[in-house]
Amino acid sequence: MPVAVVANTVLICAGGACISAGEKSVKQVFEEKLKEFALDSVVRVVETGCMGACNLGPLAVIYPEGIFYQKLTPQAAEEVVVEHLLKGRPVEKYLYKGPAGEVKAKAQEELPFFKRQVKIATRNLGVIDPTDIEEYIGRDGYFALMKALKEMTPEQVISEIKASGLRGRGGAGFPTGLKWDICRRNEADQKFIICNADEGDPGAFMDRSILEGDPHSVLEGMAIGAYAIGASKGFIYVRAEYPLAIERLNIAIEQAREYGFLGERVLGTDFSFDIEIRIGAGAFVCGEETALMASIEGERGQPRVKPPYPVESGLWGKPTVINNVETLANVPPIILKGSEWFASIGTETSKGTKVFALAGKVRNTGLVEVPMGITLRELIYEIGGGIPGGKRFKAVQTGGPSGGCIPADYLDVTVDYESLKELGTIMGSGGMVVMDEDDCMVDVAKFFLGFTVDESCGKCTPCREGTKVMYDILEKITSGEGTREDLEKLKELAQFISEASLCGLGQTAPNPVLSTMKYFWDEYVAHVEEKRCPAKRCKALIRYVIDPERCVGCTACARVCPVNAITGEVRKPHEIDPEICTRCGSCMEVCRFDAISKVSP
């Protein structure tokens, strides 16, 4: 067979975000045009997993130079083929440009967003084709499994993971090695390992990206875990909201079976192990481990009392280890490179790296993997590029509906399990939603409570009824009807619900309220005592007014108002009738003279 000479490789990001931004049509044009110019034999086009910079998609990187193209369209793809791949001239207009307009052709080597990252769990994302097992093997894939099976005893595997200090990346941060160890010691005729891929926290998408971009690393991590604890069967519980992840996992499992990494007598040893996918059906609570197991068993996804813990009595009453996607993706590198290497990264109690999903009011949204112990300031300003639109940072929400909001005073706190806990929030799965001065903290708390009310499974009363009562009080406060007593009642309820709820969902549900009350107490007081919303967000507490000095009477606002609340003659200052106004804000958006503003009360 003649050896094909590959002059260039075009890596196209086929992460979920880039696909939704039009990646498929871009790829199609790349392939068509390459064929047209007879370049298809020397230029390879490869679809990879998520490259991380979601706000710049669709993305492509052209090797060997590493030229980074952003926001591609079919038209752009054609130009890149003709100019860059055919004539050798990078197309400047699709390259990354910094805030001052400076061109960064090799953005992945130049931008702090990429440069500051240390990739362990996401090591293959954006680099390999996730549907091709050989590319994974080419990046040391399944070598860790081979090492574990052929050179290590299960006990040695466990002590290696213990020594690495790896802790669960799904939220609570339980030491992974210890979990495996306890499960190993529990004697049973059958044990299970489950990968919890029911990533439900709003704003967290690292698990989706890993499953879509490097499914084999999760399979390998599971196989190593199964060998360590003595399990012969594994389940991956994925949410139905992630069809692409399910598709790529299915392909990966098939390939792994074909290559002998799964199935009977893995790699010719006595160890047999296979994996089955289970698909959720839209219930957030199934991310809780006992609810998740109930769902795998074909039941309603309702949690049960712990203990007994899953490692003692899990799936069908058998000892079961449940690990998060990111945790499992960390396992193969630890086995291959050793626990010392892993433990050298991070802080005293939080080893290794963590993948964070930056979203909300931050310039660079997307996925980043950074060493534990990085400060929030570095994460949000250096890597995230700060707050867009010249607005002021107000808070960052971590840990989803179980977490809390951290205010500006604590931006220099290091990100690790303990320090976040001290601040009244949690690491959670790593979602970070950044908020600016326009976000009302009472409204944010209400938003999360609304989420919990929807997602509470209804089994225990404190969570089912308590969160609803809390939500109603918050609704009362944001609509201007709240009192001082309501604030006291909120606090009391929060304490009660967190102590009396059955599972983690209810126990942590009051956190968004407690943390915003702790750091933004003044905002709560302003809502109830002055009937004022400092962020000017709560509709019942604001009015839109027109500054007669600035208004030129262009009538743009009056024409856009859906309820005809704005009156005035042409070329004369207009007025808004607060009785009719629905506070939709359309007038403010169309005014070109900055004449309309919000006031509260």
Partner 1 sequence: MNVTQIEKAVKEIYERVKSESLGEEEDMLINVLHKVQDHFGNFIPPEAAETLAELMDIPVSRIYEVLTFYTMFSTKPRGKYVIRVCESTPCHVTGGKAVVEALKEALGIDFNQTTEDGLFTLEYSSCLGLCGVAPVMMVNDMAYGNLTPERVKAIIEELRGGEAK
Site for partner 1, rule CB under 8 A = 16-17, 19-21, 53-55, 57, 199-205, 207-208, 233, 240-243, 274, 276, 278-284, 295-302, 316, 357, 359-361, 365-367, 397, 431, 433, 435, 439, 444, 447-448, 451, 455, 457
In terms of DSSP bridges, do strands 431-436 and 393-398 run parallel, antiparallel, or are they unpaired?
antiparallel
Looking at the Cβ atoms of 50 and 420, the one nearer to partner 1 is: 50
Looking at the Cβ atoms of 17 and 503, the one nearer to partner 1 is: 17
Cα distance between residue 55 and residue 71, in whole Å? 8
Closest separation between CB of residue 562 and partner 1, Å? 10
Calculate the CA 149 to chain-centre distance.
33
Looking at the Cβ atoms of 358 and 477, the one nearer to partner 1 is: 358
Residues 6+ positions from 486 with CB-CB distance below 8 Å? 473, 476, 477, 528
Shortest CA distance to 231 belongs to which of 322, 303, 298?
322
Phi, psi at 208, each rounded to 5°: -60, -45
Q: Do the beta carbons of residue 437 and residue 535 sit within 8 Å? A: yes
DSSP string for residues in 174-219: -BHHHHHHHHHHS--S--EEEEEE---STT--HHHHHHHH-HHHHH
Cα angle 488-510-321, degrees, rounded to a multiple of 5? 155
Looking at the Cβ atoms of 54 and 345, the one nearer to partner 1 is: 54
Closest separation between CB of residue 158 and partner 1, Å? 26
Shortest CA distance to 333 belongs to which of 25, 110, 121?
121
Looking at the Cβ atoms of 65 and 258, the one nearer to partner 1 is: 258
Closest separation between CB of residue 279 and partner 1, Å? 6
Beta bridge mates, 599 = 543
The pair of structure tokens assigned to 217 is 């690393």
97: left (phi over 0), alpha (psi -120 to 50) or beta: beta
Looking at the Cβ atoms of 141 and 200, the one nearer to partner 1 is: 200
Cα distance between residue 502 and residue 490, in whole Å? 20
Q: What SS3 state is found at 248?
A: helix
Cα distance between residue 374 and residue 106, in whole Å? 25
Closest separation between CB of residue 284 and partner 1, Å? 6
Looking at the Cβ atoms of 129 and 439, the one nearer to partner 1 is: 439
CA atoms within 13 A on the CB side of 517: 19
Closest separation between CB of residue 253 and partner 1, Å? 11
Closest separation between CB of residue 394 and partner 1, Å? 12
**Dihedral, 123, 204, 286, 15 alpha carbons, nearest 10:** -50
Q: Do the beta carbons of residue 416 and residue 373 sit within 8 Å? A: yes
Looking at the Cβ atoms of 301 and 404, the one nearer to partner 1 is: 301
Shortest CA distance to 135 belongs to which of 208, 79, 216?
216
Closest separation between CB of residue 5 and partner 1, Å? 36
Looking at the Cβ atoms of 21 and 26, the one nearer to partner 1 is: 21
Looking at the Cβ atoms of 335 and 383, the one nearer to partner 1 is: 383
Cα distance between residue 489 and residue 72, in whole Å? 53
Closest separation between CB of residue 54 and partner 1, Å? 2
Among all chains, which residue has been given the structure tokens 């126990």?
507
Closest separation between CB of residue 204 and partner 1, Å? 7
Looking at the Cβ atoms of 20 and 153, the one nearer to partner 1 is: 20
